[in-house]
Amino acid sequence: MDDFFVKRLQALLIILSALILPIHLAWAFDEFDTQHAKPRFALSFEDLTLEIKGRARIGLHDLSGKGGPEYDSPTDTATIGTRSPFVDLDSFDLAFRLNWNEMIWFNTNIAFTTSDTSLSAIYFEYKQDLNDWFSHGAELGYQNPLFATHRHTIRYPLIATQYWKNPEYHLAYGARFQLEENTAIAIYLAASFMRPLKSEPIHGSYQYAGSLKTLSYSSAKPFSGNSAAGSALLRLSSYGLSLEGVVQFGNIVTKDGINTLISDFIYYRSLPDFDPNQTSTMAWWAGARLAYNGYGVHIMGEFLASKEQLIERMGMYIQASYTYKREAKFLNEFEILARYEQTWLSNSTNPIDDTHALRSQDTNNAISWDHKIITIAGKAHILDDILAIRLEYSFFLEDNGVPKLNIPNKSFDDDELLILIEARY
């Protein structure tokens, strides 16, 4: 990490520490915790309680563009697919929460699809209020990074897919200082293993044969040369307003790191500073989030930046929603949301030679494109918080031209519609 970034990070932390912006000690967002999924099935024995929760989502997906019902292209399926709408089991999840006196927890999330089963989380958690102004805790296991938050939509924001969507193996410690009744400051530190780099779809379903890709920190796994990583999160909160700053850093190596950059960016080897003999390099991502939640209003803005060897990326989004609730069993909650997001690569349009840059219009090199996305979403609870319907539509706009080489942007039709039924138990 260069000195410029370190100095800016230190200045940011000093400024945040000086601010006095109610919050409980809270780790990465957990959609199956007590706050977001009330327990309906529980077994208790003395001080032990086992809660069983779950969720199923079935959705209709439609990706616009060339294709459609009964259309099949033998020459196009490897790039953008046939674009035929389909119904998919988006997820079927089971969550088990075993706790001792609500102080020590053992949590597991199991995700099922039509093709496989996986553990999406398994971790131990300890949390305790020691007095009126100080509480702390620790977390050990396979869980999302500390910066993961509630996205309020089915499709993840693009920078969430790139950085904090996928779980890692970590040991984390958190401490919260209650400055007054509605004001608190919390700090979290984590040691983890570096997650491999991977190209992941930018759209909401993995079933798309050729969804455009983005560079992502994927789910943790063992691989040759894997190294340790460190992260820190500072959170200030007051009267529904919260401000967070985060940094994570570690080394990426040839396996599932540098070789991913080489294979996924067509012209990566041609970059002037590329060193074919380099087998490891420092990688980092950092950013900030400002949010407000209160009176049914949710507003959040997030910015993240990163560097992976020669790739420098930035991204942001801002979203706002309003939730209306009423006392009833049927149709008791409605939420509407709008989100704007943008991601871009630094220097991707600088010419490498007279005809090439890191970015190109080739869909096989779409990982080099910049994106602007507008999402409109709505959610309605049909029966209490048990059954809900969601509607989301995302407008995708891509920048794939290279102005310095007189290559204009080429339009690409890949807007996405999702209609989804969600059941919780």
Q: Which residues of 319-330 are buried (b: 16+ CB within 10 A; e: fewer)?
A: bbbebeeeeeee
Structure confidence at residue 34 (pLDDT): 85
Give dist(CA 346, CA 334) in Å, integer: 40
Structure confidence at residue 81 (pLDDT): 55
Structure confidence at residue 413 (pLDDT): 86
Give per-10-residue mean pLDDT for the chain (425 aa): 47 37 70 87 93 94 75 55 76 94 94 87 95 96 96 96 97 96 96 96 76 93 93 97 98 96 96 95 97 97 98 98 96 97 96 95 92 98 95 96 94 91 94
Structure confidence at residue 305 (pLDDT): 98
Structure confidence at residue 414 (pLDDT): 87
What the block records as the tokens of 5 is 């970034």
Residues in contact with 14: Cβ distance below 8 Å, sequence separation at least 6, in sequence order: none
Give dist(CA 185, CA 100) in Å, integer: 27
Amino acid at 142: Y
Spacing of C-alpha 225 from chain mean position: 25
Other CB atoms within a 10 A radius of the CB of residue 45 amount to 7
The two most distant CA atoms of the chain are separated, in Å, by 74
Give dist(CA 286, CA 163) in Å, integer: 10
CA nearest neighbour of 89 among 52, 61, 54: 61
Note if the pTM is more than 0.85: yes
For the chain, helix (H) and strand (E) counts, in that order, are 3, 19
Give dist(CA 231, CA 250) in Å, integer: 9
Indicate the domain borders of the chain.
3-424
What the block records as the tokens of 75 is 């020459």
| Kind and range of the H or E run holding 52 | strand 48-63
Give dist(CA 268, CA 311) in Å, integer: 9
Structure confidence at residue 2 (pLDDT): 52
Give dist(CA 308, CA 62) in Å, integer: 33
Structure confidence at residue 15 (pLDDT): 37
Residues written for the chain: 425
CA nearest neighbour of 182 among 22, 350, 25: 22
DSSP bridge partners of 91: 57
Beta strand 213-217 pairing with 197-201? antiparallel
Place of tokens 């977390």: 139
Question: Is 61 in contact with 207 (CB distance < 8 Å)?
Answer: yes
Following DSSP, what letter does each residue of 323-359 receive, concatenated? EEE-S-SEEEEEEEEEEEEEEEETTTTSBSSSS-BS-
Domain 3-424 part of CATH 3.90.226.10: no
